[in-house]
Amino acid sequence: MDNDQIKLFAEKNIEIFYFWSGVLMWLIHAGFLAYEAGMTRQKNVLATMMKNFLTCAVVTPSFFLFGWWIYYACPQGLPVNSELALDALPWSSKMGPNLSDHITGVFWFAFLLFSFTTASIMSGAVIERIQMGSYLILATILGSGVWVLAASWGWKDDGWLYQKWGFHDWGAGGCVHTVSAFFTLGVLFQLGPRIGKFNKEGTPQEIPPHNLPLTMMGLMLIFTGFYAFYAACAVFQTTGPWLSIYLTPMTLSSLAFTVTMGFSGGAMGAFLSSRGNPYWTISGGLAGMISIASGVDVYHPALGYLVGFAGGIIAVQFGNWMERKGLDDAVGAVAVHGGAGMWSMLAMGLFASGYPQHERFTSLPGQLVGLVVMVLLGFLPGYLISLLLKKCHLLRVSPEHEREGLDCSELGIQGVVPAATPVSSQPNR
C-alpha cells in the first residue's frame, strides 16, 4: 500500500473504534432510564422515563449547533478564540458526510454521549416534582454548555487548567461528574423536597422505590456502558502507544484493571458503610468507578481498589448528610457523582503528584484548583437558572399535580396500572 492508502486504513480503524464506543455508551442511558424508573413511585414512572428519553432528543441538536463549538473555542477561557473552532461550526464541511474526514463525526458522537450522561445525572435527583419543560431547558444548558466548558478548560491538551496547573482528570471525575452533580445541587436548592419527604419537625421520611430490582438492573447497564465511556476517552493510534486525553502514553489494560477494581472497592465500601443497604451497595459500585476516574490511566489496580473503597464510603456518608440538611436528592446523584467526583480529583493529587505531563507535573495544588473550578462552574449556573425559572413559576409542578402523579398530570396516561386485587376462587357462603 502507498502512503495515502495506509493513512486511509488507519483513519478507518480509528473511525470504527470510536463509532462502536459511542454505540455501547447508549447502554449508560438505557441504564439511567431503568434506574430512575425503578426509584420513582408508580404514579411517576412514565414521566420519569420520558424525561430521560427526551434528554437525548433535546441535547443532540443543541450540542450540534453550539456545544461542539464551545469545546474548541474556549480552552483558554475568555476571550473566545473562534478561529480554533471554525471546523466545529455546524455549517463546516467537517460537520457532515465528508468522504475525506473519518474522524470528526465519531468524535462528536462520543462527546455527545458524554453530554447525555451529564443531563441524566441531574434527571434522577429531581424526579417526581420538576416540570418537564424546565427540566429540558436545564438539561440543554448543562449538556451542551456548562459541562462542555469544563471539558474545554480541564480535559483538552490545550485547556488552561491543564496547561497552567497540570490538572489531571483523565476519566472526567471533575469535568462530567462533579460539574453535573453541583449543577444539580444548585437546582435542588430552588426546587425543594418532594411532598412528604420531611415531617413537620424536618426529619427525613423514607419514600421507597416502587421497583428496586429494576434500579439494580439499570445500574448494571450503566456499569457496562462505563467501560465504553472510558475507552472513548483514550486516543487511539494505529502505530505507537495509546494516548490519554492529554496526549500522554497509556494502555487499555489500565482501564480493564483499574475500572474493575474501583467498582469492586466502591461496592464493598458502600456495603459496609450502609450496613448492607441494597441501594447504596450497588450505587457504591458506581461511586467506585467514578472515584478512580481522574487517575485511571496511571493508578496501580490495588490503589484503584482502595480509592474506590473510600469513594463508596464517601457517597453513603455524603448522601446521609444531605438528607439531614433538608435536601431531597431522590436517587443520591449528588452524593455519588459529586462526592466521588471530588474525591477522584483529590485522590489524583494525593497519590499521583509528580506524574509528568506537558511542561508541568500533576500536583495537589493543581488538583485543588481544578476541584474548586468544577464545583463553582456547576453550582452557580444550576442555582441561578433554576432561580429564574422558579421566579417565573416554571420550575415545579403544582402540589395537586405532584400528589396526583406526573404520569397523569403531565402525560395524561397512567404508566403503571396497579395490579388488581385477586378474586377468591372460593364460592360465596
| pLDDT tens digits, one per residue of 206-264 | 999 999 999 999 999 999 999 999 998 888 777 778 888 888 888 899 999 999 999 99
Q: Which three cell numbers stand for residue 266?
A: 466502591
- Stretch 339-350: mean pLDDT, rounded? 97
pLDDT at 81: 74
Q: Which of 342, 361, 341, 363 is nearest to 351 (CA)?
A: 363
pLDDT at 415: 77
CA distances from 160 to 30, 95, 270, 373 (A): 34, 26, 35, 12
pLDDT at 362 over 50: yes
Q: Identify the weakest region by mean pLDDT among 98-102, 154-158, 213-217, 372-376.
A: 98-102
Round to whole Å and give the CA distance between 110 and 292: 20
Q: How confident is the model at residue 7 (pLDDT cuts 50, 70, 90)?
A: low
Give the amino acid at 240: G
Round to whole Å and give the CA distance between 308 and 216: 19
Q: Which of 49, 43, 333 is nearest to 188 (CA)?
A: 333
In eight-state DSSP terms, residue 44 is G
159, 135 contact by CB (below 8 A): no
Residue 357 pairs in a beta bridge with 360
pLDDT at 336: 97
Could you read off the pLDDT of 85-116 as tens digits, one per residue? Answer: 888 999 999 999 888 888 899 999 999 999 99
Percent of the chain with pLDDT over 90: 76
Give the contacts of 406 (CB within 8 A, at least 6 positions apart). Answer: 43, 44, 47, 48, 128, 132, 397
- Stretch 424-429: mean pLDDT, rounded? 44
pLDDT at 421: 47
pLDDT at 417: 72
Mean pLDDT of the chain: 91
Cα dihedral 207, 317, 193, 141 sign: negative
SS3 string, 294-337, reads: CCCCCCCHHHHHHHHHHHHHHHHHHHHHHHHCCCCCCCCHHHHH
pLDDT at 8: 64
pLDDT at 429: 39
Round to whole Å and give the CA distance between 395 and 387: 8
Number of Cβ atoms within 10 Å of the Cβ of 133: 12
pLDDT at 386: 98
Q: Which of 1, 409, 425, 380 is nearest to 187 (CA)?
A: 380
pLDDT at 356 over 60: yes
- Stretch 47-66: mean pLDDT, rounded? 96
Q: Which three cell numbers stand for residue 269?
A: 465500601
Q: Please give the helix or strand (H or E) that residue 387 lies within, else none.
A: helix 364-391
Q: What is the dihedral of CA 160, 226, 34, 407, to 10 degrees?
A: 10
Q: Give the global pTM.
A: 0.93
pLDDT at 286 over 90: yes
Could you read off the pLDDT of 387-426 as tens digits, one per residue? Answer: 999 999 999 999 999 999 999 998 988 877 765 545 444 4
pLDDT at 427: 44
Residue 204: is the preceding peptide bond cis (ω within 30°)? no
Q: Identify the weakest region by mean pLDDT among 2-6, 168-172, 288-292.
A: 2-6
pLDDT at 425: 44
Which backbone phi and psi does 352 adopt, to 5 degrees? -130, 25
Residue 166: CA count within 13 A, CB half-sphere: 17
